[in-house]
Amino acid sequence: MFEYRIATSDDIELLMESRLEMLKVVNNLDPNYQFDEELVNCSRDYFLNGDHTTVLVVDGEKVIACASMSYMWIMPTFSHPTGKRAHLMNVYTNKDYRRKGIARKMVNMLIEEAWNKGATEISLDATSLGRPLYESLGFGNNTEGMNLSR
């Protein structure tokens, strides 16, 4: 059976390993691709100091899946009285372990925690592969948002 656990700072090497693996797969990068030092250092800093929760799923000594919920505060509004919002990201399961309900369990763990922490909204950016899972969990398209990227 797999071990599902909330990552701590003691898991930093496992967190980094799983994040970099996920980025290679999602972006169709060569397995030997070398990441920019800034991305690696900023990712490590975020895992150690950011307002987030990451679930790791381990099979023996190997991380087979991960998912993160990042938290942010905005000015409270009528529809979001706490001002606390959450963003689900980096939901990833190693290809050899897919279609076993692992991602669903991780996401449900993070959703429950977000509601318990007072979040009034959970957003995410979905790939075509992940969209059916998120829709089955009640996520819908948001037509209110816009963004500006640099």
- Per the prediction, the chain carries an average pLDDT of 92
For the stretch 46-74, pLDDT in tens is: 999 989 999 999 999 899 999 999 999 99
The whole-number pLDDT of residue 79 equals 82
Hey, what CATH class is 3-131 in? alpha beta
The predicted-structure confidence for 79-113, as pLDDT tens digits, reads as follows 888 889 999 999 999 999 999 999 999 999 999 99
CB atoms under 10 Å from CB of 85, counted, come to: 17
Q: Whole-angstrom Cα distance, residue 72 to residue 52?
A: 9
Distance CA 34, CA 56 (A): 23
pLDDT for residue 125: 87
pLDDT average, residue stretch 115-126: 91
Q: For the chain, which residues make up each domain, given as ranges?
A: 3-131
